[in-house]
Amino acid sequence: MTDHHLNINGKPHVVEGVEDSTPLLWILRDALGLLGTKYGCGIGSCGACTIHVDGIPIRSCSFPISAVDGKEIRTIEGLASKDGTLHALQQAWIESDVAQCGYCQAGQLMSAAALLDASPNPSDSDIDDAMQGNYCRCGTYKRIKSAIHLAADSLSGRVGKS
Ligand code: FES
Ligand code: FES
């Protein structure tokens, strides 16, 4: 059991007396109350628990807390700006009416955000590659793809930001 120093959405947290192998998702939800990140499969296969560690999308259900000490963690709660301005993806998600039950959507948004950080003007196949591990039982894939294109256009200034 050790203490872990986490930097989550720009804020430092000390998590005391936790096994090194504890999945980060458990810490986010149960210890820190960051409930936006969802538990789906628990084995790294569905994408519901996707967050960023140093800008890379990872499955927090299968990522030990010991691997993130001192790293920059970003969860869905940190996707909007500090002043509350929604990320272009969140705005596009609303405009495209993407969500159905909503359960998978935090993970979808975090994977999409990592994609746009790495590839600001993704093709359909870039989107397919980046999003292929994020499952949606409601079948919102087409709307997700449209919303990613819309957000990319908004970020690049190709369409007006609302
Ligand atoms: S809950 Fe982590 S990948 Fe499914
Ligand atoms: S919106 Fe229901 S699982 Fe994706």
Distances (CA, A) of 30 to 2, 43, 86, 124, 132: 17, 18, 26, 37, 28
Alpha carbons within 13 angstroms on the beta-carbon side of residue 49 total: 21
Mean of per-residue pLDDT scores for the chain: 95
CA distances from 36 to 77, 85, 140 (A): 7, 17, 19
Q: Quick one: which ligand is closest to 26's CA?
A: 1
pTM recorded for the entire structure: 0.95
CATH of 2-78, picked from 3.10.20.30, 3.30.450.40, 3.30.470.20, 3.50.50.60, is 3.10.20.30
Put the strands of the sheet holding 56-59 in their side by side order.
11-18, 2-8, 72-74, 50-53, 56-59
- Residues 90-138: pLDDT tens digits? 999 999 999 999 999 999 999 999 999 999 999 999 999 999 999 999 9
pLDDT at 161: 45
- Report, at the CATH architecture level, how domain 88-156 is classified: Orthogonal Bundle (1.10)
Provide residues with CB under 6 Å of ligand 2: 99-105, 136-138, 140
Mutate to test the pocket of ligand 1, among 59, 103, 110 (most ligand atoms within 8 A of CB): 59
Q: In the chain, where are the structural domains located?
A: 2-78, 88-156
